[in-house]
């Protein structure tokens, strides 16, 4: 429902009771008495708001295997630790709730996509476990749209909490109409009763550009939509307002500075680790800013911006004191990595009862940035039937052994190998292109499993063959660079991975002139320049062929064939082929040269 803001303000000036809309009929006595009673206690009260929050859990229902560097007796020791997982988070939340009964749990979007659970079950276990975790509200993330509107509708029907997105309009999309709303008013228990807290949702307006199919859902600029929601909440007497935002940390800081009336911004999307620099350094981690980051809003009041890293590894915890006027009078924070006490080193588990195990656990504990709850048995039981069904598939060997770790962003990036696999799957193609954003995991040295391949390439894109000219190939690369440069906030450029050709980038040059060289790789290690008039057969993933990552040029190419081959299948087959003749190493590179 939307009504005129001006009229609401006027009516609340004229009337002692701020009614949202004029009443056409006389009220029955009982209802009138009830309204008077509500209004009598509707005067805003001071509140200590206890927030817990997650974001970008990305189908990580089980713990994540994470690399940490602990300081043991002043010496850095690399370990792997099991962090997060819904069962461990449940125990941490139960403990927090026993201390603070009014705890509010928020999820800032991207609950799905990233593990086999989503590939196989399309969001059901994720939402069942979020219900069991006791989520009070969630905002939509871009990845919630990954399997299209029908699947999203089925997923959101499972949620037993409000889903929020003030700047996303689904009224023209039948599968999704009514599945979310701009904001919710949570009644937070206080000593004297309850106090209303407004929670507004906002989702990145880049979603249609980075998603295959959002149907007829329309995204708008978040700021005006949030302002409208703040005005509606204010007109209902709500003066404590949280923005639940899936826009990324930098945009959250901008929104906090520019939109009046926001007290707290709980964010996601950028997977930003916030916290105490020294505490996190003791775990080998480096935060992007303090938790919370305090921003001065347009009305001079403080706005607290928080985010809880990624994959459910950090449970955000923020306590905010409000006075009756809704001003923040103080806050305290206790975000923590939620982790197992047991570690592994050099690929072997360390016995927690050993001296080394105890020293590692003590080092992690001494950081002050970690908590060590056990896994909740009921949560494990709820997850078990899903786990059993995917385990068999997950553990199946692909038939290849990697000679070294394939680490994204490093010289051993899995990207060139993935791009090669696209080319190998379509023998008539000349060249291939793979985006960096589509590669979701690193691959460890050793035998490769089907589950690892699906973790690396979870999106089930199909391979599409496009007939392009040399000029169109160059334009497509320019598209990708322009889109990244427009969207990035100081992050390193991540140009697409080529196969069968190489290119050079000078990001400092103007749009359209950043590709400074483009050449085919010829047999025997040579190269030949690609000329504008050359005809090339390009194979790429359906996401890019459909214009993803800003690749408008590719979207407009009519001469195309969708092979129906899924990218992860092509990669597994390529690995198996290479693996038949010995350990697999990343191809010699680099294929993209960046001007400094
Ligand atoms: Zn996101």
Q: What distance in angstroms lies between residue 236's CA and the mean position of ligand 1's atoms?
A: 31
Q: What distance in angstroms lies between residue 112's CA and the mean position of ligand 1's atoms?
A: 10
| Helical spans, DSSP H, in 134-189 | 148-157
Q: What distance in angstroms lies between residue 92's CA and the mean position of ligand 1's atoms?
A: 25
Q: What distance in angstroms lies between residue 110's CA and the mean position of ligand 1's atoms?
A: 6
pLDDT of residue 489: 62
Q: What distance in angstroms lies between residue 356's CA and the mean position of ligand 1's atoms?
A: 38
Burial (Cβ within 10 Å: 0-12, 13-18, ≥19) of residue 330: exposed
pLDDT of residue 213: 81
| Helical spans, DSSP H, in 24-147 | 29-41, 86-99, 116-121, 124-133
Q: Calculate the alpha carbon distances from 225 to 148, 157, 169, 244 in Å.
A: 24, 24, 11, 13
Residues 101 and 111: their CA atoms lie apart, in Å, by 25
pLDDT of residue 591: 96
- Contact between 92 and 339 under an 8 Å Cβ cutoff? The reply is no
Q: Which domains does the chain have, with CATH numbers?
A: 47-381 (3.60.21.10), 397-594 (3.90.780.10)
Residues 308 and 58: their CA atoms lie apart, in Å, by 13
Q: What distance in angstroms lies between residue 588's CA and the mean position of ligand 1's atoms?
A: 32
Residues 193 and 455: their CA atoms lie apart, in Å, by 47
Residues 530 and 553: their CA atoms lie apart, in Å, by 17
Q: What distance in angstroms lies between residue 126's CA and the mean position of ligand 1's atoms?
A: 16
Q: What distance in angstroms lies between residue 311's CA and the mean position of ligand 1's atoms?
A: 11
SS (H, E, C) 280-304: HHCCCCCCCECCCEEEECCCCCEEE
Give the pairing type, strands 336-345 and 75-83: antiparallel
Q: Calculate the alpha carbon distances from 505 to 49, 474, 490, 513 in Å.
A: 49, 11, 17, 9
3-state secondary structure of 235: helix
Type and span of the H or E element at 568: helix 567-579
pLDDT of residue 490: 64
Q: What distance in angstroms lies between residue 152's CA and the mean position of ligand 1's atoms?
A: 15
State how far Cα 569 lies from the chain centre: 25
CA angle 161, 163, 168 (to 5 degrees): 170
Q: What distance in angstroms lies between residue 309's CA and the mean position of ligand 1's atoms?
A: 12
- Measured in residues, the chain has a length of 596
Q: Calculate the alpha carbon distances from 281 to 67, 114, 287, 383, 500 in Å.
A: 13, 27, 9, 33, 41
Contacts of 317 (CB under 8 A, 6+ apart): 51, 52, 53, 96, 333, 334, 335, 336
Q: What distance in angstroms lies between residue 248's CA and the mean position of ligand 1's atoms?
A: 8
Residues 259 and 252: their CA atoms lie apart, in Å, by 10
Q: What distance in angstroms lies between residue 48's CA and the mean position of ligand 1's atoms?
A: 30
Paired strand residues for 344: 80, 349
DSSP string, 471-516: HHHHHHHHHHHHHHHHH-SSPPP-PPEEESEEEEE-TTSPTT--EE
Contacts of 532 (CB under 8 A, 6+ apart): 469, 470, 471, 474
Q: Which stretches of the chain score pLDDT less than 50?
A: 1-27, 32, 35-37, 39-41
Q: What distance in angstroms lies between residue 269's CA and the mean position of ligand 1's atoms?
A: 4
Q: What distance in angstroms lies between residue 164's CA and the mean position of ligand 1's atoms?
A: 15
Q: What distance in angstroms lies between residue 459's CA and the mean position of ligand 1's atoms?
A: 14
Q: What distance in angstroms lies between residue 138's CA and the mean position of ligand 1's atoms?
A: 13
pLDDT of residue 563: 80
pLDDT of residue 219: 98
Q: What distance in angstroms lies between residue 71's CA and the mean position of ligand 1's atoms?
A: 32
pLDDT of residue 53: 98
Helix axes 148-157, 124-133, angle to 10 degrees: 30
Residues 111 and 554: their CA atoms lie apart, in Å, by 30
Q: What distance in angstroms lies between residue 68's CA and the mean position of ligand 1's atoms?
A: 24
Question: At residue 345, what are phi and psi to the nearest 5 degrees?
Answer: -135, 135
Contacts of 477 (CB under 8 A, 6+ apart): 495, 496, 503, 505, 515, 518
Q: What distance in angstroms lies between residue 90's CA and the mean position of ligand 1's atoms?
A: 23
- Contact between 109 and 268 under an 8 Å Cβ cutoff? The reply is yes
Q: What distance in angstroms lies between residue 245's CA and the mean position of ligand 1's atoms?
A: 10
Q: What distance in angstroms lies between residue 263's CA and the mean position of ligand 1's atoms?
A: 23
Q: What distance in angstroms lies between residue 55's CA and the mean position of ligand 1's atoms?
A: 9
Residues 321 and 262: their CA atoms lie apart, in Å, by 14
Q: What distance in angstroms lies between residue 111's CA and the mean position of ligand 1's atoms?
A: 9
Q: What distance in angstroms lies between residue 115's CA and the mean position of ligand 1's atoms?
A: 15
Q: What distance in angstroms lies between residue 246's CA and the mean position of ligand 1's atoms?
A: 6
Q: What distance in angstroms lies between residue 379's CA and the mean position of ligand 1's atoms?
A: 26
Q: What distance in angstroms lies between residue 478's CA and the mean position of ligand 1's atoms?
A: 24
Q: What distance in angstroms lies between residue 305's CA and the mean position of ligand 1's atoms?
A: 17
Q: What distance in angstroms lies between residue 27's CA and the mean position of ligand 1's atoms?
A: 47
- Contact between 396 and 475 under an 8 Å Cβ cutoff? The reply is no
């Amino acid at each position: 429902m939307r009504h005129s803001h001006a009229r609401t303000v006027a009516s609340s000036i004229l009337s002692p009771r701020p009614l949202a809309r004029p009443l056409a009929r006389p009220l029955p006595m009982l209802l009138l008495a009830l309204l008077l009673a509500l209004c009598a206690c509707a005067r805003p009260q001071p509140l200590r708001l206890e927030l817990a929050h997650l974001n970008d859990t990305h189908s990580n229902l089980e713990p994540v295997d994470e690399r940490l560097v602990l300081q043991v007796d002043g010496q850095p020791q690399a370990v792997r630790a099991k962090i997060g997982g819904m069962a461990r988070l449940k125990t941490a939340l139960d403990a927090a709730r026993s201390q603070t009964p009014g705890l509010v749990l928020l999820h800032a979007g991207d609950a799905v996509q990233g593990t086999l659970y989503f590939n196989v079950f399309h969001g059901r276990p994720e939402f069942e476990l979020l219900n069991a975790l006791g989520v009070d509200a969630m905002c939509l993330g871009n990845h919630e749209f990954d399997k299209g509107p029908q699947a999203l509708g089925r997923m959101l029907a499972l949620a037993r909490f409000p889903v929020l997105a003030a700047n996303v309009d689904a009224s023209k999309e039948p599968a999704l109409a009514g599945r979310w709303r701009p904001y919710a008013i949570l009644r937070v228990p206080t000593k004297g009763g309850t106090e209303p807290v407004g929670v507004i949702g906002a989702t990145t307006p880049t979603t249609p550009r980075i998603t295959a199919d959002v149907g007829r859902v329309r995204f708008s600029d978040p700021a005006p939509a949030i302002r409208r929601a703040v005005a509606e909440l204010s007109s209902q007497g709500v003066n404590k307002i949280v923005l639940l935002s899936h826009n990324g940390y930098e945009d959250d800081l901008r929104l906090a500075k520019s939109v009046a009336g926001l007290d707290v911004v709980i964010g996601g999307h950028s997977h930003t680790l916030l916290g105490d620099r020294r505490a996190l350094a003791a775990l080998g981690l480096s935060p992007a800013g303090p938790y919370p980051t305090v921003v001065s809003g347009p009305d001079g009041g403080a706005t607290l911006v928080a985010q809880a890293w990624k994959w459910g590894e950090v449970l955000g915890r923020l306590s905010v004191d409000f006075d009756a006027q809704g001003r923040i009078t103080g806050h305290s924070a206790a975000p923590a990595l939620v982790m197992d006490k047991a570690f592994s080193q050099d690929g072997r588990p360390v016995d927690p009862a050993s001296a080394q195990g105890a020293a590692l656990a003590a080092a992690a504990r001494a950081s002050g940035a970690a908590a060590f709850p056990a896994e909740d048995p009921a949560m494990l039981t709820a997850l078990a039937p899903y786990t059993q069904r995917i385990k068999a598939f997950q553990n199946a060997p692909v038939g290849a052994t990697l000679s070294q770790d394939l680490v994204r962003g490093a010289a051993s990036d899995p990207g060139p190998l993935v791009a090669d696999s696209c080319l190998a799957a379509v023998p008539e193609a000349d060249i291939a292109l793979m985006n960096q954003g589509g590669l979701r995991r690193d691959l460890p040295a050793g035998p490769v499993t089907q589950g690892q391949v699906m973790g690396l390439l979870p999106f089930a894109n199909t391979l599409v063959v496009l007939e392009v000219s040399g000029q169109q190939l160059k334009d497509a690369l320019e598209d990708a660079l322009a889109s990244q440069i427009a969207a990035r906030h100081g992050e390193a450029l991540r140009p697409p991975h080529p196969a069968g050709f190489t290119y050079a980038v000078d990001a400092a040059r103007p749009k359209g002139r950043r590709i400074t060289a483009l050449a085919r790789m010829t047999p025997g290690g040579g190269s030949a320049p690609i000329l504008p008039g050359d005809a090339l057969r390009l194979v790429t993933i359906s996401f890019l062929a459909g214009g993803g990552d800003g690749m408008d040029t590719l979207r407009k190419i009519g001469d195309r064939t969708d092979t129906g081959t899924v990218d992860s299948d092509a990669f597994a087959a390529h690995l198996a082929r290479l693996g038949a003749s010995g350990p697999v190493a990343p191809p010699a590179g680099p294929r993209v040269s960046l001007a400094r």
